[in-house]
Amino acid sequence: MSVGLLTGSEPFAGLPDNPASALLSHFENRIYAGIRVLPRMTPANLSTGLDLLKELIAEHRPDFVISLGLALGEPVLRVETIGINTLDFAIPDNEGIRPLHGGPIDETGPAARKATWEHRTIVDALLAADLPARASHSAGTHMCNATLYTSVGAMEAAGLSGPCGFLHLPYLPEQVARFMRSAPPEGDRAPRTERSLASMSLENQLRGLGIVLEKVAARANGSKG
C-alpha cells in the first residue's frame, strides 16, 4: 500500500512537550483514500532534522507529505502556503545552533518554494467543522519554515508530484496552564512575559488533523488517477 508521510517536530525551545509530536501516535497506520499514514518525529535541529526529512522522502516515496510544528502563541490552525530560503532563528535549535541575518537554507536553491496542497480547500473544511483556521503566507524563518522548504524540494527531487504542506499548531491548554502556574508570584519584570496565551485542545487538534489528512489524501489519490 502507498504511504503518506506525516512528520512532527520534537519538543524545542526548552519545552518538555510539543503537540506536533503528541499527535503522531494517534495516526499510526490509519488509512485515508487508500493511503496509509506513516508518522515520524523529526529533530528540532539543523544538523540532522532536514537531512532526515530528505531521507524519509527518498526512501518511502510518499503520495503526500504533511509536516506539523508548534507556532508559539498562535490561536488557530495555520495552513502554510510557502517556505522561503532563509534562516534567521529567534531562539536556538535543540543543539544550540542559532543562525542569524537571513542566510540560506540551500545555497543553490530557489528563493522560495510553494506548498503544493490545496490550502483553501483545507481551510474551508476546517472552518466548516467549527475549527478556527487560516491560510498563512509566512511560515517564519525557523525550523518550521525550513521543514516546508526542504520537503517541497525533496518531493521535487524525487520526481513526486503529491501534495506537500505544513500545518502550524497552537499550544495545548495544559501547556498554557503550566506557563501560568510557573509565573513568578511577584509578576514579571518589564518587558512583561504574556502567559495567558491562546490554546486548542488535543481533541480538536486531532479532529483538525484528521480533516487535513482526508483532504490531502483524496487529492493525492485523485492525482494518481
Catalytic site positions: 80, 144, 168
What SS3 state is found at 207? helix
What is the overall mean pLDDT for the chain?
94
Please report, for residues 45, 51, 150, 175, the alpha-carbon distance to residue 93 in angstroms, rounded to integers and kept in the order given.
Answer: 5, 15, 17, 20
Task: Note whether residue 95 is domain-resident.
Answer: yes
Task: Note whether residue 19 is domain-resident.
Answer: yes
Across the range 6-17, mean pLDDT stands at 94
Q: What is the CATH number of the domain that holds 155?
A: 3.40.630.20
Burial-class residue 36 by CB neighbours within 10 Å (0-12, 13-18, 19+): middle
Across the range 94-110, mean pLDDT stands at 94
State phi, psi for 30 to the nearest 5 degrees: -70, 150
Lowest-pLDDT range of 85-89, 119-123, 126-130, 180-184: 180-184
Task: Note whether residue 161 is domain-resident.
Answer: yes
Task: Note whether residue 186 is domain-resident.
Answer: no
**DSSP notation for 142-189:** SHHHHHHHHHHHHHHHTT--S-EEEEEEPBPHHHHHHHHHTS-TT-PP
CB 199 within 8 A of CB 175: yes
Residue 193 has pLDDT above 80, yes or no: no
- What is the rounded CA–CA span in Å between residue 212 and residue 31? 13
Task: Note whether residue 116 is domain-resident.
Answer: yes
* Structural domains in the chain (count): 1
Task: Note whether residue 178 is domain-resident.
Answer: no
For 132-171, b/e burial (b = at least 16 CB within 10 A) is ebeebeebbbbbbbbbbbbbbbbbeeeebebbbbbbbbbb
Confidence of residue 1 (pLDDT cuts 50, 70, 90): confident
**H or E segment at 36?**
strand 35-42
Residue 132 has pLDDT above 70, yes or no: yes
Grid coordinates belonging to 167: 500545518
HSE of 119, CA atoms in CB hemisphere, 13 A: 19
Across the range 170-178, mean pLDDT stands at 96
Grid coordinates belonging to 31: 488509512
Residue 14 has pLDDT above 80, yes or no: yes
- Percent helix, strand, coil in the chain, to 5, is 35, 20, 45
Which residue from 104, 95, 100 is spatially nearest to 45, judged by alpha carbons? Answer: 95
Task: Note whether residue 134 is domain-resident.
Answer: yes
Residue 213 has pLDDT above 80, yes or no: yes
Task: Note whether residue 17 is domain-resident.
Answer: yes
For residue 188, what pLDDT is reported? Answer: 67
Give me the domain span that covers residue 10: 3-172+200-224
CB 63 within 8 A of CB 4: yes
CB 40 within 8 A of CB 75: no
Residue 225 has pLDDT above 50, yes or no: no
Burial-class residue 14 by CB neighbours within 10 Å (0-12, 13-18, 19+): exposed
Distance of CA 172 to the CA centre of its chain: 15
Distance of CA 24 to the CA centre of its chain: 12
